[in-house]
Copies of this chain bind each other. A is one copy, B any other.
Amino acid sequence: MKLSAKYIAVFLMPLLFSTVLIASEKKGVAMETATVPVSPQSQACISCHSIYTPGIVSDWLSSRHAKITPYDAMKRPALQRRMSSNNLPDELLKQAVSCYECHSQNPEKHKDNFEHFGFRINIVVSPNDCRTCHSVEVSQFSDSKKAHAHKNLMGNPVYRALVNSITGVSRIENGRIITEKPSDKTLNETCLACHGTRVEVRGSKKVSTPIGEITVPHLTNWPNQGVGRENPDGSLGSCTACHTRHAFSIEEARKPYTCAKCHYEPDVPAWNVYKKSKHGNIFFSEQHEWDFDAVPWTVGKDFRAPTCATCHNSLIVSPDGEVIAERTHNFGSRLWVRLFGLIYSHPQPKSGNTTIIRNKDGLPLPTTFTGELASEYLIDEKEQMRRKQVMKNVCISCHSTSWVDGHFEKLENTIKETDKMTLAATKLMMEAWEKGIEDKTNPFDEPIERMWTRQWLFYSNSIRYASAMTGKGYTTFKLGWWELSNNLQKMQDMIELKQDRLKNRDKKVDK
């Protein structure tokens, strides 16, 4: 963050100077100076944007993209490589990866391509554009549930009923609650803030900027950085969900604050549980001494306790340089069981696209309401064992086999017991349905149904997370067993109270 924007603007623009000096001072590491050529197109971008949006220019200057050419990056030893593609167009090879390099990719696919001060650029840089240099990562990601996060939610009629029940605006008419369909804007700020919106081009519009009125494509559901965003080039996902523009820092992606944006209580309390775990305890106490930028990432040398990335997707090696876990951007690929989000836990789905699943009742759910698996769509036991071993390999870097086995036995038990507690709640709700106390048409829009939803979406989920990540005590009072057992009691009380009301009403009708 040392080069002033003015310097760049004044110096580069008139002379079309082709190098950028970047001085970066990082965490005690010695001063590092890099000279990387910048394309004339990107120099033009920088010359204006260093004045009008200086923050993102500074961001980019601090990024690896500004410090090394793809040509040099490709020459690194295999384990140290941060880009996976081997065949790049010549024009991208020997210069910085800068504004124009990314925003001009695949123009023919981009419905958001437009002319901007003499250049044709895309507004949205999609995973398919990042693929040019990061092909393996994008392939892995594109198969994941994350890439399908929008589709999996909005294209599933059961989840869609949940979404609509929660986020629609209500009004009172004759003492009754009438709920409308949710607005696109509210969906963008609630579920789809994380799951991603569908971004489409709807003609163009004029915007007033500091340099006058300019015409840009009009994008729907924008801005949005949800991980399963549907992009104007037809691709799925948003790399900036975790690798924030325009620094694309691996340090940031490896720190748990990034995952915490979406994965927190009450429905996905990974962050909350991590904070209460021994691993989190060590991370928060000692992170200032660790190296979050090293590739590969070495157990014991670069870090002392895992963050989310360690267990779920980073390339991890031992101090000897032996690979403990391969890098993956399919975030489910080290997971054998799905702990959260659905009514009951179940083996991971085979496909990142979960809308294709059908349970015995014909619903697009991995289990029935009483917990029977839709096995055809889920990974088998052999694949489960394989994945579990990948995860265990990470644990075994620091823990004895006996310790690790004991840990996972506890998790297995927790999965079974929490599923039983969900089943108990389901039976109470079914009783309410049978007695006509609430209406089963939409299972999410009445108070007892909401209590049932809490049972699995908040409480059983949380307990399983805490068990998987040893989030001490989170399983007890904070969204844990206290709530799980209390919720059953409260459901029963409400059923009895509402049943009496129903009977009293019936009596009146009888008269």
Q: Which residues of A contact B (CB under 8 A)?
A: 1-2, 4-6, 25-28, 50-59, 62, 123, 165-172, 175-177, 179, 183, 185-186, 188-191, 193-194, 205, 207-210, 216, 219, 222-223, 225, 244, 247, 249, 251-252, 255, 257-258, 260-262, 264-267, 275-278, 280-282, 284-286, 288-289, 299-302, 304, 318-321, 396-403, 405-407, 409-410, 413-414, 417, 420-421, 423-424, 427-428, 431, 445-447, 450, 457-458, 463, 466-467, 470, 472-473, 475-478, 480-482, 485-486, 488-490, 492-498, 500-501, 504
Contacts and interface: CB of A to CB of B under 8 A. Distances in A.
5 closest pairs, A vs B, by CB? Answer: A58-B300, A55-B398, A5-B319, A185-B413, A257-B284
Contacts of A495: 175
Nearest to A399: B53
Given A252-B285, A258-B281, 14 more contacts: A5-B319, A6-B321, A50-B319, A165-B485, A177-B424, A189-B463, A189-B475, A190-B481, A219-B406, A244-B281, A249-B285, A255-B285, A260-B281, A458-B477
Contact of A497 (B28, B225, B284, B497): B497
Contact of A304 (B6, B59, B277, B289): B59
Contact of A190 (B216, B302, B399, B476): B476
Contacts of A57: 300
Count of this chain's copies in the oligomeric assembly = 3
A202 to B, nearest CB: 13
B504 A500 contact: yes
B286 A260 contact: no
A209 to B, nearest CB: 4
B186 A481 contact: yes
A285 B258 contact: yes
